[in-house]
A and B are shown apart, each in its own frame.
Chain A
Amino acid sequence: MNLNELPLWLEILLSALLLLGGLFVLIGAIGLVRLPDFFTRLHAPTKASTLGLGAILLGSMVLVSVSHDGVSLHELLITLFLFITAPVSAHMMCRAALHQRLKIAPGTRNGEYQGLTLARQQERDSSRLP
Protein backbone atom coordinates (compact mmCIF):
# COMPACT_ATOMS: atom_id res chain seq x y z
CA MET A 1 0.00 0.00 0.00
CA ASN A 2 1.29 3.43 -0.89
CA LEU A 3 1.96 5.84 1.96
CA ASN A 4 -0.33 8.45 0.40
CA GLU A 5 -3.26 6.06 0.34
CA LEU A 6 -3.48 5.37 4.05
CA PRO A 7 -7.05 5.49 5.36
CA LEU A 8 -7.81 8.49 7.53
CA TRP A 9 -8.42 6.54 10.75
CA LEU A 10 -5.01 4.91 10.41
CA GLU A 11 -3.32 8.25 9.89
CA ILE A 12 -5.03 9.57 13.01
CA LEU A 13 -4.01 6.50 15.02
CA LEU A 14 -0.39 6.74 13.87
CA SER A 15 -0.22 10.48 14.55
CA ALA A 16 -1.67 9.95 18.03
CA LEU A 17 0.93 7.27 18.80
CA LEU A 18 3.79 9.44 17.55
CA LEU A 19 2.55 12.48 19.46
CA LEU A 20 2.09 10.49 22.66
CA GLY A 21 5.59 9.03 22.28
CA GLY A 22 7.12 12.42 21.59
CA LEU A 23 5.31 13.92 24.56
CA PHE A 24 6.64 11.32 26.98
CA VAL A 25 10.21 11.57 25.70
CA LEU A 26 9.93 15.34 26.08
CA ILE A 27 8.66 14.97 29.65
CA GLY A 28 11.60 12.67 30.37
CA ALA A 29 13.96 15.38 29.12
CA ILE A 30 12.18 18.06 31.15
CA GLY A 31 12.55 15.81 34.20
CA LEU A 32 16.31 15.68 33.65
CA VAL A 33 16.42 19.47 33.90
CA ARG A 34 13.86 20.07 36.64
CA LEU A 35 14.41 17.36 39.23
CA PRO A 36 16.65 18.39 42.15
CA ASP A 37 19.43 15.76 42.35
CA PHE A 38 21.05 12.87 40.49
CA PHE A 39 18.95 10.17 42.11
CA THR A 40 15.61 11.79 41.31
CA ARG A 41 16.79 12.59 37.78
CA LEU A 42 17.48 8.92 37.25
CA HIS A 43 13.72 8.26 37.44
CA ALA A 44 12.88 10.32 34.37
CA PRO A 45 14.81 8.37 31.71
CA THR A 46 14.09 4.90 33.14
CA LYS A 47 10.34 5.41 33.04
CA ALA A 48 9.04 8.37 31.08
CA SER A 49 11.06 7.35 28.06
CA THR A 50 10.13 3.64 28.08
CA LEU A 51 6.49 4.43 27.34
CA GLY A 52 7.49 7.23 24.95
CA LEU A 53 9.74 4.94 22.97
CA GLY A 54 7.15 2.15 23.22
CA ALA A 55 4.48 4.33 21.62
CA ILE A 56 6.83 5.46 18.82
CA LEU A 57 7.88 1.85 18.13
CA LEU A 58 4.24 0.71 18.11
CA GLY A 59 3.49 3.41 15.55
CA SER A 60 6.45 2.28 13.45
CA MET A 61 5.29 -1.34 13.64
CA VAL A 62 1.78 -0.52 12.46
CA LEU A 63 3.00 1.77 9.65
CA VAL A 64 5.62 -0.62 8.27
CA SER A 65 3.24 -3.59 8.55
CA VAL A 66 0.56 -1.76 6.58
CA SER A 67 2.72 -0.05 3.96
CA HIS A 68 4.94 -3.05 3.22
CA ASP A 69 3.76 -6.59 2.81
CA GLY A 70 4.03 -8.65 5.92
CA VAL A 71 4.38 -7.88 9.59
CA SER A 72 7.33 -5.96 10.96
CA LEU A 73 8.52 -7.32 14.30
CA HIS A 74 11.93 -5.63 14.59
CA GLU A 75 10.40 -3.16 16.98
CA LEU A 76 9.53 -5.91 19.46
CA LEU A 77 13.24 -6.69 19.73
CA ILE A 78 14.12 -3.04 20.36
CA THR A 79 11.51 -2.95 23.14
CA LEU A 80 12.84 -6.18 24.63
CA PHE A 81 16.44 -4.95 24.69
CA LEU A 82 15.32 -1.61 26.11
CA PHE A 83 13.49 -3.32 28.96
CA ILE A 84 16.54 -5.44 29.72
CA THR A 85 19.15 -2.66 29.54
CA ALA A 86 17.32 0.34 31.07
CA PRO A 87 17.04 -1.01 34.64
CA VAL A 88 20.56 -2.44 34.59
CA SER A 89 22.16 0.82 33.47
CA ALA A 90 20.06 2.80 35.98
CA HIS A 91 21.25 0.44 38.73
CA MET A 92 24.90 0.81 37.71
CA MET A 93 24.66 4.60 37.58
CA CYS A 94 22.95 4.64 40.96
CA ARG A 95 25.73 2.54 42.51
CA ALA A 96 28.38 4.78 40.99
CA ALA A 97 26.55 7.83 42.34
CA LEU A 98 26.41 6.32 45.84
CA HIS A 99 30.10 5.53 45.67
CA GLN A 100 30.94 9.07 44.57
CA ARG A 101 28.79 10.50 47.39
CA LEU A 102 26.87 12.72 45.02
CA LYS A 103 24.83 15.44 46.67
CA ILE A 104 21.38 14.34 47.78
CA ALA A 105 18.47 16.76 47.57
CA PRO A 106 17.65 18.30 50.95
CA GLY A 107 14.64 16.64 52.52
CA THR A 108 15.47 13.19 51.17
CA ARG A 109 14.42 10.66 53.76
CA ASN A 110 16.89 8.05 54.97
CA GLY A 111 19.78 9.85 53.26
CA GLU A 112 22.09 8.19 55.80
CA TYR A 113 21.82 4.94 53.84
CA GLN A 114 24.25 6.48 51.38
CA GLY A 115 26.89 6.69 54.10
CA LEU A 116 26.08 3.12 55.08
CA THR A 117 26.68 1.83 51.58
CA LEU A 118 29.93 3.73 51.33
CA ALA A 119 31.24 2.46 54.67
CA ARG A 120 30.47 -1.08 53.55
CA GLN A 121 32.32 -0.58 50.27
CA GLN A 122 35.36 0.85 52.05
CA GLU A 123 35.35 -2.07 54.45
CA ARG A 124 35.27 -4.48 51.54
CA ASP A 125 38.05 -2.65 49.71
CA SER A 126 40.31 -2.56 52.75
CA SER A 127 39.77 -6.25 53.48
CA ARG A 128 41.01 -7.00 49.98
CA LEU A 129 44.35 -5.32 50.65
CA PRO A 130 47.16 -7.72 51.54
Chain B
Amino acid sequence: MSALLPMPFFSLVLLLVWLLINNSLAFGQILLGAVLAVGLPLLLRPMHVPGPRVRSLHGVSIYLLRLLRDIVVANFDVAKLVLSSRSKLRPGFIMYPLDLTDDLPITLLASTISLTPGTVSADLTDDKRYLLIHVLDMHDEASLIEELKQRYERPLQEIFAC
Protein backbone atom coordinates (compact mmCIF):
# COMPACT_ATOMS: atom_id res chain seq x y z
CA MET B 1 0.00 0.00 0.00
CA SER B 2 1.14 3.55 -0.62
CA ALA B 3 3.28 5.34 1.94
CA LEU B 4 0.79 8.13 2.55
CA LEU B 5 -2.24 5.90 3.08
CA PRO B 6 -1.13 2.68 4.79
CA MET B 7 -4.73 1.77 5.73
CA PRO B 8 -7.02 3.25 3.06
CA PHE B 9 -10.22 1.68 4.39
CA PHE B 10 -9.49 2.83 7.96
CA SER B 11 -8.86 6.34 6.62
CA LEU B 12 -12.20 6.37 4.81
CA VAL B 13 -14.04 5.24 7.95
CA LEU B 14 -12.28 7.92 10.03
CA LEU B 15 -13.31 10.62 7.56
CA LEU B 16 -16.93 9.40 7.51
CA VAL B 17 -17.15 9.19 11.31
CA TRP B 18 -15.66 12.70 11.62
CA LEU B 19 -18.25 14.11 9.22
CA LEU B 20 -21.05 12.25 11.02
CA ILE B 21 -19.97 13.51 14.44
CA ASN B 22 -20.00 17.08 13.16
CA ASN B 23 -23.14 16.44 11.11
CA SER B 24 -21.81 18.71 8.40
CA LEU B 25 -20.42 18.61 4.89
CA ALA B 26 -18.77 22.04 5.10
CA PHE B 27 -15.48 22.34 3.25
CA GLY B 28 -13.57 23.08 6.46
CA GLN B 29 -14.86 19.93 8.15
CA ILE B 30 -13.97 17.79 5.14
CA LEU B 31 -10.46 19.30 5.14
CA LEU B 32 -10.02 18.72 8.90
CA GLY B 33 -11.41 15.19 8.57
CA ALA B 34 -9.03 14.48 5.69
CA VAL B 35 -6.06 15.66 7.77
CA LEU B 36 -7.12 13.31 10.60
CA ALA B 37 -7.82 10.46 8.17
CA VAL B 38 -4.30 10.70 6.77
CA GLY B 39 -2.50 11.59 10.00
CA LEU B 40 -3.95 9.05 12.44
CA PRO B 41 -3.12 5.92 10.37
CA LEU B 42 0.42 7.24 9.89
CA LEU B 43 0.80 7.63 13.68
CA LEU B 44 -0.79 4.23 14.35
CA ARG B 45 1.15 2.32 11.72
CA PRO B 46 3.71 0.87 14.16
CA MET B 47 0.86 -0.64 16.19
CA HIS B 48 -0.92 -2.14 13.21
CA VAL B 49 -1.27 -5.93 13.35
CA PRO B 50 -1.53 -7.36 9.86
CA GLY B 51 -4.71 -9.42 9.55
CA PRO B 52 -6.60 -11.10 6.74
CA ARG B 53 -7.96 -8.78 4.06
CA VAL B 54 -11.59 -8.50 3.10
CA ARG B 55 -11.95 -10.38 -0.18
CA SER B 56 -15.52 -9.75 -1.10
CA LEU B 57 -17.43 -6.50 -0.49
CA HIS B 58 -20.52 -8.19 -1.90
CA GLY B 59 -20.22 -10.79 0.88
CA VAL B 60 -19.92 -8.04 3.49
CA SER B 61 -23.14 -6.33 2.42
CA ILE B 62 -25.07 -9.62 2.36
CA TYR B 63 -23.67 -10.45 5.80
CA LEU B 64 -24.66 -7.04 7.23
CA LEU B 65 -28.21 -7.28 5.86
CA ARG B 66 -28.63 -10.77 7.27
CA LEU B 67 -27.24 -9.59 10.63
CA LEU B 68 -29.67 -6.66 10.72
CA ARG B 69 -32.62 -8.93 9.96
CA ASP B 70 -31.51 -11.49 12.55
CA ILE B 71 -31.10 -8.81 15.23
CA VAL B 72 -34.72 -7.73 14.70
CA VAL B 73 -35.91 -11.36 14.84
CA ALA B 74 -33.70 -11.96 17.91
CA ASN B 75 -35.34 -9.10 19.73
CA PHE B 76 -38.82 -10.50 19.22
CA ASP B 77 -37.68 -14.00 20.21
CA VAL B 78 -35.99 -12.85 23.40
CA ALA B 79 -38.93 -10.58 24.25
CA LYS B 80 -41.26 -13.56 23.94
CA LEU B 81 -38.99 -15.71 26.12
CA VAL B 82 -38.72 -13.00 28.77
CA LEU B 83 -42.49 -12.63 28.99
CA SER B 84 -43.29 -16.35 28.87
CA SER B 85 -43.27 -18.67 31.84
CA ARG B 86 -39.90 -19.20 33.53
CA SER B 87 -40.18 -22.96 33.63
CA LYS B 88 -40.17 -23.13 29.82
CA LEU B 89 -36.62 -21.84 29.61
CA ARG B 90 -33.92 -24.37 28.88
CA PRO B 91 -30.65 -22.48 29.27
CA GLY B 92 -27.34 -24.17 28.59
CA PHE B 93 -23.71 -23.84 27.52
CA ILE B 94 -22.23 -25.17 24.31
CA MET B 95 -18.64 -25.54 23.16
CA TYR B 96 -18.57 -24.31 19.58
CA PRO B 97 -15.70 -25.68 17.47
CA LEU B 98 -14.18 -22.83 15.42
CA ASP B 99 -12.98 -23.21 11.85
CA LEU B 100 -11.80 -19.60 11.69
CA THR B 101 -8.24 -19.00 12.79
CA ASP B 102 -7.56 -15.25 12.68
CA ASP B 103 -8.37 -12.84 15.50
CA LEU B 104 -10.51 -10.41 13.52
CA PRO B 105 -12.93 -12.96 12.02
CA ILE B 106 -13.24 -14.72 15.39
CA THR B 107 -14.05 -11.38 17.07
CA LEU B 108 -16.67 -10.65 14.41
CA LEU B 109 -18.20 -14.11 14.83
CA ALA B 110 -18.30 -13.79 18.63
CA SER B 111 -19.94 -10.36 18.38
CA THR B 112 -22.46 -11.65 15.85
CA ILE B 113 -23.33 -14.53 18.15
CA SER B 114 -23.85 -12.14 21.05
CA LEU B 115 -26.18 -9.94 19.00
CA THR B 116 -28.36 -12.71 17.55
CA PRO B 117 -31.13 -15.03 18.81
CA GLY B 118 -30.69 -16.22 22.38
CA THR B 119 -26.93 -16.70 22.34
CA VAL B 120 -24.07 -14.86 24.11
CA SER B 121 -20.45 -15.77 23.53
CA ALA B 122 -18.93 -16.37 26.95
CA ASP B 123 -15.32 -17.40 26.53
CA LEU B 124 -12.68 -18.37 24.02
CA THR B 125 -10.25 -21.18 24.80
CA ASP B 126 -6.56 -20.29 24.82
CA ASP B 127 -5.83 -22.26 21.67
CA LYS B 128 -8.62 -20.33 19.89
CA ARG B 129 -10.26 -23.54 18.77
CA TYR B 130 -13.46 -23.42 20.81
CA LEU B 131 -15.91 -20.69 21.69
CA LEU B 132 -17.99 -21.17 24.85
CA ILE B 133 -21.52 -19.93 24.21
CA HIS B 134 -24.38 -19.45 26.65
CA VAL B 135 -27.77 -20.24 25.11
CA LEU B 136 -30.98 -18.86 26.56
CA ASP B 137 -33.29 -21.56 25.23
CA MET B 138 -31.62 -24.64 23.80
CA HIS B 139 -33.51 -27.30 21.88
CA ASP B 140 -30.81 -29.29 20.18
CA GLU B 141 -27.10 -28.72 20.64
CA ALA B 142 -25.89 -30.22 17.36
CA SER B 143 -28.41 -28.42 15.16
CA LEU B 144 -27.63 -25.09 16.85
CA ILE B 145 -23.91 -25.50 16.18
CA GLU B 146 -24.67 -26.43 12.58
CA GLU B 147 -26.94 -23.40 12.17
CA LEU B 148 -24.32 -20.99 13.52
CA LYS B 149 -21.73 -22.54 11.26
CA GLN B 150 -23.82 -22.30 8.08
CA ARG B 151 -25.35 -18.93 8.82
CA TYR B 152 -22.39 -16.93 10.09
CA GLU B 153 -19.07 -18.75 10.07
CA ARG B 154 -19.12 -19.88 6.41
CA PRO B 155 -19.95 -16.38 5.10
CA LEU B 156 -17.15 -14.94 7.28
CA GLN B 157 -14.77 -17.54 5.88
CA GLU B 158 -15.75 -16.48 2.37
CA ILE B 159 -15.39 -12.77 3.16
CA PHE B 160 -11.88 -13.21 4.54
CA ALA B 161 -11.00 -16.15 2.30
CA CYS B 162 -9.48 -18.24 5.07
Interface residues in chain A, defined as those with a beta carbon under 8 Å from any beta carbon in chain B: 24, 27-28, 30-31, 34-37, 39-40, 42-44, 46-48, 50-52, 72-74, 76-77, 83-84, 86-88, 90-91, 94-95, 98, 105, 107-111, 113-114, 117, 120, 124
Interface string of B86-108 (1 = CB under 8 A from A): 10011111110000000000000
CB within 8 A of B122: which of A31, A91, A108? A91
Q: A24-B75, A95-B123, A109-B91 are in contact. List 4 more A-B contacts (CB 8 A).
A: A27-B79, A44-B78, A48-B79, A50-B71
A55 → B minimal CB distance (Å): 10
Cα–Cα distance between A44 and B141 once the two chains are bound (Å): 21
A79 → B minimal CB distance (Å): 10
Cα–Cα distance between A120 and B123 once the two chains are bound (Å): 11
B127 → A minimal CB distance (Å): 10
B80 to A, closest residue via Cβ: A27
Chain B contact-residue range equals 35 or more
Name the A residues within 8 Å of B95 (CB-CB): 110, 113
Query: Is A77 within 8 A of B132, CB to CB?
Result: no
A72 to B, closest residue via Cβ: B23
Cα–Cα distance between A24 and B72 once the two chains are bound (Å): 11
Cα–Cα distance between A77 and B16 once the two chains are bound (Å): 10
Query: Is B79 within 8 A of A46, CB to CB?
Result: no
CB within 8 A of B115: which of A46, A77, A98? A46
22 A-B residue pairings within 8 Å (CB atoms): A27-B83, A31-B78, A31-B82, A36-B91, A40-B89, A43-B120, A47-B74, A47-B117, A50-B75, A51-B71, A73-B23, A74-B20, A83-B111, A86-B114, A87-B110, A87-B121, A91-B121, A91-B122, A94-B121, A98-B123, A110-B93, A111-B93
Name the B residues within 8 Å of A108 (CB-CB): 91-93
A42 → B minimal CB distance (Å): 5
A49 to B, closest residue via Cβ: B75
Name the A residues within 8 Å of B147 (CB-CB): none
Cα–Cα distance between A48 and B82 once the two chains are bound (Å): 9
Which residue, A27, A86, A120, has most C-beta atoms of chain B within 10 A? A27
A74 to B, closest residue via Cβ: B23
Query: Is B123 within 8 A of A105, CB to CB?
Result: no
Let me know if B2 is at the binding interface, CB within 8 A: no
B132 to A, closest residue via Cβ: A113
B122 to A, closest residue via Cβ: A94
Name the B residues within 8 Å of A46 (CB-CB): 114-115, 120
Cα–Cα distance between A31 and B74 once the two chains are bound (Å): 14
Cα–Cα distance between A51 and B73 once the two chains are bound (Å): 10
Query: Is B82 within 8 A of A51, CB to CB?
Result: no
